[in-house]
Chains A and B, each alone.
Chain A
Amino acid sequence: MNASGGILASEKQTSALPFDVARVREDFPILKQSVYGKPLVYLDNGATSQKPQSVLDALANYYSNENSNIHRGVHYLSERATREYEEARAKIQRFINAEKLSEIIFTRGTTEAINLVASSYGRANIKAGDEILITAMEHHSNIVPWQLLCEEKGARLQVAPVNDDGELIMDEFARLLNERTKLVSVAHVSNALGTINPVEQIISLAHQRNVPVMIDGAQAVPHLAVDVSRLDCDFYAFSGHKIYGPTGIGVLYGKTHLLEAMPPYQGGGDMIASVTFEKTTYNTLPYKFEAGTPNISGAIAFGAAIDYVNQIGLSRIASHEHELLVYGTAALAQIAGLRQIGTAKEKAGILSFVMDGIHPHDIGTILDREGIAIRTGHHCAMPLMQRFNVPATARASLALYNTIEEIDALVSGLHKVGEVFNS
């Protein structure tokens, strides 16, 4: 199973060693390739991260040796697949320090996890005249599910503003939190700006009014240690593919008393205890929310990704990425006509910027021919783009395998962009 090699077995053993990025890169086969004759510089990790060999091996191993359906077979393979799937759940429970295993629900990703809460918790608890409070830096997936719910219920979506650095204005947030607020949902880390929101403070303010808080952790989990018990958040969502796991698998964490009171999200097999045409009783947590055959291989490989991150250690990943972020921020500041969007004091993993007279899409195309992959566009955060009065930005987003040399390549690529446009 643990076929990656390269990294020593436990964080305790390795945490004293310096972070060796060259060795880390060996674990990611895709990074060895060239594009347009240039070494691939992958700086689009906010969209999706690359996968280490151990995750690829877990996928192949599942289909080669374990494939069968879970939770129902009496046979050897089914038992083995069920055990692996449930072990992955336990890995995730420990990773975010959830109190109970049954509080970890597998979903297709962060988007589905948020939709689950909006559909199930939201429909049961939000009424006409209620308010749901989000922030101006949310991804569309943490806006639209709430809009749909508000439309259906006659409730109101309230949006806490951000300042020019891309930081949430906490006074405004506190002001918008009132007796009508029935749910708060905020990004832990902004996908477009990299801002780390003060979620502890947000949760404590909301809880003073008995308002539950959902955290969109898609961009946080790869970069910072998350402890849902210490945060005391009510729901926490994240995706496997942004933390070196496969696509199509994610997690919703929810507090037991909330999940138990919630109606099912989807009906089907595995989520029931018994079915007659008169009455169906639902399965216990977490299975009540896992209708149908899940993404078994995805969950198992997600577990392998968590193992990989644990082996290196999130604190070492975070400090490596922080070094890149500081270096990159300073390097981009030297480029004439470049303006960084998102200059919060607390940031993780993201360099978002615009250049005078050059559209981000053109920046992206020219960098692409230099072998450099970045994201250009509105980053599924169109209201935020409006807030900063830009149609789009160029975004370089970092992962543990990125290097100082790659930041240098980005900078020289951006000089090339300037040459093409100012020739």
Chain B
Amino acid sequence: MTDLQDLYQELILDHGRRPRNFKQLDGANTAEGYNPLCGDKVKVYIRTDNDVVTDVSFEGAGCAISTASASLMTEIVKGKSRAEAEQLFKAFHDLVTGHQSMLDSPDLGKLAVFSGVSEFPTRVKCATLSWHTLLAALSDNDQVVSTE
């Protein structure tokens, strides 16, 4: 059960069950993400002011990993600039794919809880779907983001 306990840590289960910022944001930029493999769908809402994220939320249906990832993402990117959000995603991506992080990588904070995903290659897309969608919303990309 060790691998599984690493994957399904309490914080992930908590955010999977009770996602934060799980709501619509009127007048925000949006983007939709879709994982055809498992049918996970996410819609990210984002408001920015001078390139800084002032508010962010999401809606959707997905597994515990994708829901928790979206929930924790909304918590960490609020107040960050677009460049900082992109750096966070890069570091997060390295974490969940088991790649060595860059020395000057940003502090992932609570996102470190996703380190167990690297033992489950089939779940990497679950963890990264909301991030791909966030970056699309930041660049005002109307296309549905697909993990395939």
- Chain A residues within 8 Å of B122, by CB: 365
Cβ–Cβ contact B8 & A361, under 8 A: no
Near B by CB (< 8 A), chain A positions 280-335 give none
B7 to chain A, nearest CB (A): 7
User: Given the interface contacts A365-B120, A365-B122, does A391 sit within 8 Å of B4 by beta carbon?
Assistant: no
Cβ–Cβ contact B4 & A361, under 8 A: no
- Chain B residues within 8 Å of A360, by CB: 38, 63
Cβ–Cβ contact A362 & B41, under 8 A: no
Q: From A102-110, A172-180, A374-382, give the one contacting chain B.
A: A374-382
Q: Please tell me the size bucket of the interface on A.
A: 10 to 19
B119 to chain A, nearest CB (A): 10
Q: How far is the CA of A366 from the CA of B65 in the complex (A)?
A: 13
Instruction: Bits for B42-84, please: 1 = Cβ < 8 Å to A, else 0.
Output: 0000000000000000000111110100000000000000000
Cβ–Cβ contact A376 & B13, under 8 A: no
User: Given the interface contacts A365-B123, A391-B61, does A420 sit within 8 Å of B4 by beta carbon?
Assistant: yes
Q: How far is the CA of A365 from the CA of B7 in the complex (A)?
A: 10
B110 to chain A, nearest CB (A): 20
Q: Please tell me the size bucket of the interface on B.
A: 20 to 34
Chain B CB within 8 A of A392 CB: yes
- Chain A residues within 8 Å of B41, by CB: 391
Cβ–Cβ contact A391 & B3, under 8 A: no
Cβ–Cβ contact A369 & B39, under 8 A: no
Chain A CB within 8 A of B85 CB: no
Instruction: Bits for A355-391, please: 1 = Cβ < 8 Å to B, else 0.
Output: 0011111100110010000001110001001000001
Chain B CB within 8 A of A63 CB: no
- Chain B residues within 8 Å of A358, by CB: 64
User: Given the interface contacts A369-B3, A421-B13, does A391 sit within 8 Å of B8 by beta carbon?
Assistant: no
A34 to chain B, nearest CB (A): 16
B96 to chain A, nearest CB (A): 14
Cβ–Cβ contact B13 & A361, under 8 A: no
A369 to chain B, nearest CB (A): 5
* Chain B residues with a Cβ under 8 A of chain A: 1, 3-4, 7-8, 13, 17, 37-41, 61-65, 67, 120, 122-123, 126
18 new A-B contacts at CB < 8 Å, known A359-B62, A378-B39, A421-B8:
A361-B38, A361-B40, A361-B62, A362-B64, A365-B122, A366-B4, A369-B1, A369-B4, A376-B38, A377-B39, A378-B38, A391-B38, A391-B39, A391-B40, A420-B4, A420-B13, A421-B13, A423-B13
* Chain A residues with a Cβ under 8 A of chain B: 357-362, 365-366, 369, 376-378, 382, 385, 391-392, 420-421, 423
